[in-house]
Structure 1
Amino acid sequence: MPSTVEIDRFQALQSQLRDRWCSIDEFDRRELDIIVIPSLSLDRQELQKIKGVHHYEERLLFSLIRLRNPGTRLIYVTSQPLNPLIVDYYLNLLPDVPYPDARDRLILFSTDDASTKPLTQKILERPRLIERLRKAIRTDCAFMTCFNSTQIEKELSLQLDLPLLALDPDLLRWGTKSGSREVFAEANVPHPDGCLEVWDAADLATATAELWERQPNLKRMVVKLNEGFSGQGNALLKLDALQSVAPERASTVERAEAIAHAFEHLSFQCDTETWAHFSSRIPDLGAIVEAFIEGEEKRSPSVQGRISPMGDVEILSTHDQILGGPDGQIFLGCSFPADDSYRQQLQEYGLAVGKVLAAKGVIERYSVDFMAVRSSNHDSWNLQAIEINIRKGGTTHPHMTLKLLTGGHYDRQSGCFLNQRGEAKYYVATDNLQSDRYIGLLPNDLMEIVARHRLHFSRSSETGSVFHIMGCLSEYGKLGLLSIGNSPEEADTIYKHVIQVLDDETQMHTQHPFHPVYLSSTHSSTHGD
């Protein structure tokens, strides 16, 4: 537990953000150092379900947009050294900034540690690295930013004597599944019936039985780890095999007992997950159960916002999420903006949630995920809020990269992103473009393919594709893709063309009998489109 002195000191550091922070949309000539800690400080067992997750530290390279301010230096820390090609690739995307000047103001550090520990923990275990960071940073005009804020980010903030542009981790409960439900209720945002967190399997079975009693017409329910993410901690409970203990036929106790046995047959989003493992995580992470939202036509939109250090709430974007997995609950990617039939409503709900979070002291980025179900007469959509993420996420990188490339802004009135000429831009993006055929491709190989087929982003048309998490490519056959167009249809066409080119190129190169991928008997492709 942090001492009272540490709490007071952290709050004093946070108060400095009001003077040091400015919006990315502003051109800032002040002297400023920003230290970027792209650590995924999330549950390690859940993170291990994501292929190449340690390379996701590359996703915050959109922060290089800050180098357009001539007095700003960026100190970027990673677990392992970044491939120089990847660094150069991002720096060359910066418009109107000379490459040598931007490179001089980018300072890179690495822990040289490929373990599964969070990056922040690796830094804290290296006092000499912390000392080098202190010497490199102008602490009187600096702040620290991160992917998500936990107690270890707070500790690093204190050791570096820097304000942290993120929420106080004491407020993290508002980003859990249970905390989200409380915020939705306070903000009057519709959300599925369910329970607050429970901490053992027996209580979860009881909560599930009680939910069925309140909603006797339910066909399915979703069981979730309270601190799961990207849908990885979700499982589906089908009620058709439990009709003998339905509310009209059995008591709550009998129903809970039957449900406890049925948990053994949950449908998990992760192929390797089991009830034995899932239930063992409940005492650590907590769990909830919610009504599964049924519907013939469903979508999963989201809204992103930001709460400034001054407490101002701003809507940044809306997206339609691309979901996969056995029951369509795993986040694969997104398209921007969300459908115009519910875009404005998303913004209103997102603003309401943001105001509740701001009143609780939350700052920085947040997002709200929804399920949208088309009405029976097809003239409207019913939106139900699912969860809040109080951190950067899968939709942060593509939106910020578009801003980096175009210098444009999000127009709240239309819900579109407008470039400097006032033209709307659209995109499709994924962190999960993966195929076994891509294994063995180096970032240099990818750049050759991009150049040969003219897949790169064009500054004249402001259309084309940008790639990220390229460090995953050689080992896992996985990378991130952002395809930008002047219409939703053009963005989708560009996105699919990139995938076709990569598939064709790797098909050609896997014909050689000694190629390691050629010897594989399976070809798995998760494109997220």
Structure 2
Amino acid sequence: MVINVSPKPLVTQESEFRRLQAQLSSRWRPIDEFDLQERQILVVPSLSLDQQELEKIAGVHHYEERLLFALIRLRNPQTRLTYVTSQPLHPSIIDYYLELLPGIPSAHARDRLQLFSTYDSSKKPLTQKLLERPRLLAQIRKSLDPDQAYMVCFNSTSLERDLSLALGIPLLALDPDLLYWGTKSGSREIFAECGIPHPDGSELVWTQADLAEVTADLWQRQPHLRRIVIKLNQGFSGEGNALLELAPLAAVAPGEASRRERVEALQQAFSQLRFQCPIETWAHFYTKVRELGAIAEAFIEGDSKRSPSVQGRITPQAEVEILSTHDQVLGGPDGQIFLGCTFPADADYRLELQEMGRRIGQALAAKGALERYGVDFIAVRQPPGSPQPWQLQAIEINLRKGGTTHPFMALKLLVEGRYEPEDGMFYTRNGQPKFYRASDNLQKPAYRGLLPSDLMDIIISHRLHFNSSYGTGAAFHLMGCLSEYGKLGITCIGNTPAAAGAIYDQVVAALDRETAAFDE
């Protein structure tokens, strides 16, 4: 067999991908716009991330359901939407989302929705499963008009680019060649370029010896540090972070021992790193260091800390839009695992978040980035009398949809209104502000065995479902996770932050009571 090693096909593919993406400027319209033009949208909610890391998330194969809020596009009467999953979605889950659509009969929307499945539960990204099934690809291609359609995804890799090329439709997502700017090291470069405050840290390294060297250098620059975070260059939800406690290494601290002794001690100390996942080990983590690279970064201390974030979008016209701000709810051993969020972020730093997010978005747009991005921060409360009540430091950029994407999409689906950049609030058409509390991790063993229909029975009987008349209540996602894992996603919308929190608490209390009744 003769293998063609000429670089010409690769160059042709890259130019074709760029040609397809150039078509987005005439096909994509903002979600707020009532669009009467014919549109076709293919949703491929593949988590094209490190599959070993994904295994740490309970029920992760159901996370393909999180983009079901994209059905909001069916509010436009000439829009057709195709949704692909690894395993078929339960009909009651689809019915639930279609019933939430305001202003459109659910039957009308259902006629414009196509569902495809690979019937493959293996631990591969959904996009890879599609590429391995040429007959299924042919069916999907036949269902799409290449002059109207475009594709959206959770995150963009070479797999999504290959799928875009195979189908001959543009991908509304980042060119995978630009993924570096969403890594830990790439984020730090962007922060430095934009003048955004961020923790002191190291260059990117790939060996244990080099990691010890750069960690020693960081400690030398910051001898007051109590902890240092070792971060895989590519990670998500805090799972790629490990914490190094410096107190046990006091004997080799700067000023107490030579640099050589400090580096040697650090190499040995890596085996005692604290991981967010209880089953993680240094041996396994180090395989990821050699594969992905890692950095050492100063751990931000503080008696009162928060984890706000800002979300933006770079449109096909290269315009930067701020979409939302959130205060993230974090958990895990060291409070670095994303559990949920509240909208909007605190008024003390909300506008500052927006401004920093805009500058970062403009830098990304100048490099050719496209679609959604998010920036995570740490906020530390300052002493009374300080010029600012909170100090913000940027932590990382996410060039993909994230844990704050689908709650805000839920708000947009359920409540017709607008996000107002002047104050960072969301208002209904009549000027009522809206707030929410959301989580991907409402999980308890007692919830196992609940079907989506059981969930609806419980919520409706307790009058906690979303009420379109009042614009308040609870909306759910990850319902496919419920029976097997006792895990559920939820977005609780209220007219005040306290009201949104109260709805969340009432949902939990109702589920607890109902499941306890069956255990008696």
Shorter-chain TM band: over 0.9
Paired letter, 1:405: L
Write the letter of the residue equivalent to 1:64.
L
Does residue 390 of structure 2 align to residue 381 of structure 1?
Answer: yes
Q: What do the CA deviations read for 1:149-184 (whole angstroms, capped 9, x no partner)?
A: 000000000000010000100000100111100010
From 294, 299, 303, the equivalent of 2:306 is: 299
* Match of residue 199 from structure 1: 206
Give secondary structure in 1 for the equivalent of 2:164: helix
Residues in 1 aligned to 2:78 and 2:202: alpha-carbon distance in whole angstroms: 50
Question: Following the alignment from structure 2 to structure 1, what is the Cα–Cα distance between the partners of residues 135 and 260?
Answer: 58
Partner SS state of residue 385, structure 1: strand
Match of residue 336 from structure 1: 343
Q: Report what 1:169 is aligned to.
A: 176
Counterpart-to-counterpart distance in 2, 1:386 and 1:252: 28
Deviation digits for residues 238-258 of structure 1 (CA, Å, limit 9, x no counterpart): 100111111112222221110
Matching residue within 56, 67, 73 for 1:66: 73
* Per-residue CA distance 1:348-388 (angstroms, 9 max, x = gap): 11001100000010000000000000012275100000000
Contact 2:459 2:510 (C-alpha < 8 Å) held by counterparts: no
Aligned partner of 2:39 among 32, 56, 64: 32
Alignment of 1:444-483 (within 5 A): 444-483=453-492
Task: Report the CA distance between 1:501 and its aligned residue.
Answer: 0.9
- Local SS of the residue matching 1:368: strand
Residues 390/378 of structure 1: CA separation in 2 closer, same or farther (3 Å cut): farther
TM-score, scaled relative to structure 2: 0.97
Q: 2:3: which partner in 1?
A: none
AA aligned opposite 1:382:
Q
Distance in 2 of aligned mates of 1:472 and 1:155: 30
In structure 2, what is the equivalent of residue 517 of structure 1? none
2:404 matched to which residue of 1? 395
Equivalent runs, 1:320-331 vs 2, <5 Å:
320-331=327-338
Query: 1:265, 1:426 → 2: CA distance?
Result: 42
CA contact (8 A) 1:175 1:387 kept: yes
- Give the counterpart of 1:107 among 114, 121, 124: 114
Partner of 2:243: 236
Deviation at 1:421, TM superposition (A): 1.1
Aligned mate of 2:222, from 215, 224, 227: 215
Corresponding residue SS for 1:92: helix
1:93 corresponds to: 100
* Structure 2: 5+ residue stretches without partners: 1-6
> Where do 4+ consecutive residues of structure 1 move more than 6 Å?
none
- For 1:125 and 1:252, the matched residues in 2 are separated by 52
- Residue 430 (structure 1) aligned with residue 439 (structure 2): yes
| Distance in structure 1 (CA, Å) of the matches to 2:148 and 2:162 | 19
Question: Secondary structure of the residue that 1:49 maps to in structure 2?
Answer: coil
- The number of residues matched between the two structures is 511
Deviations 1:369-415 (A, max 9, x none): 00000012275100000000000010000001100111211100111
SS, match of residue 134 in structure 1? helix
Task: Kindly provide the amino acid, as one letter, of the partner of residue 432 in structure 1.
Answer: N
Bigger shift: residues 284-293 or 250-259? 250-259
Mapped partners of 1:366, 1:294: distance in 2:
26
- The answer to whether 1:501 aligns with 2:510 is yes
Match of 1:140, SS state, is coil
Gaps of 5+ in 1: 512-529
Task: Report the counterpart of residue 489 of structure 1 in structure 2.
Answer: 498
Question: Are the aligned partners of 2:198 and 2:394 in contact in 1 as well (CA < 8 Å)?
Answer: yes
The equivalent residue for 2:4 is none
Query: Distance in 2 between the 1:204 and 1:419 partners?
Result: 51
1:254 aligns with 2:261: yes
State the superposition RMSD in angstroms: 0.9
Aligned-pair identity (%): 63
Instruction: Tell me what 2:367 maps to.
Output: 360
| Conserved? CA contact 2:426–2:433, under 8 Å | yes
The amino acid that maps onto 1:468 is H
Question: For the residues of structure 1 that align with 2:511 and 2:454, how far apart are their CA atoms?
Answer: 11
Answer whether contact 1:139 1:162 (CA < 8 A) is retained.
yes
Q: Is the contact made by 1:181 and 1:196 (CA closer than 8 Å) also made in structure 2?
A: no
Determine helix, strand or coil for the equivalent of 2:128: helix
Q: Are 2:477 and 2:489, in contact at CA under 8 Å, matched by a contact in 1? A: yes
SS in 2 for 1:437: helix
Aligned partner of 1:520 in structure 2 is none
TM-score normalized by the length of structure 1:
0.96
- Answering whether residue 422 of structure 2 is matched by residue 413 of structure 1, we say yes
Alpha-carbon separation, structure 2, partners of 1:105 and 1:416:
32
Give, in whole Å, the separation in 2 of the partners of 1:473 and 1:390.
29
Letter in 1 for 2:269: A
Q: Distance in 2 between matches of 1:256 and 1:359?
A: 39
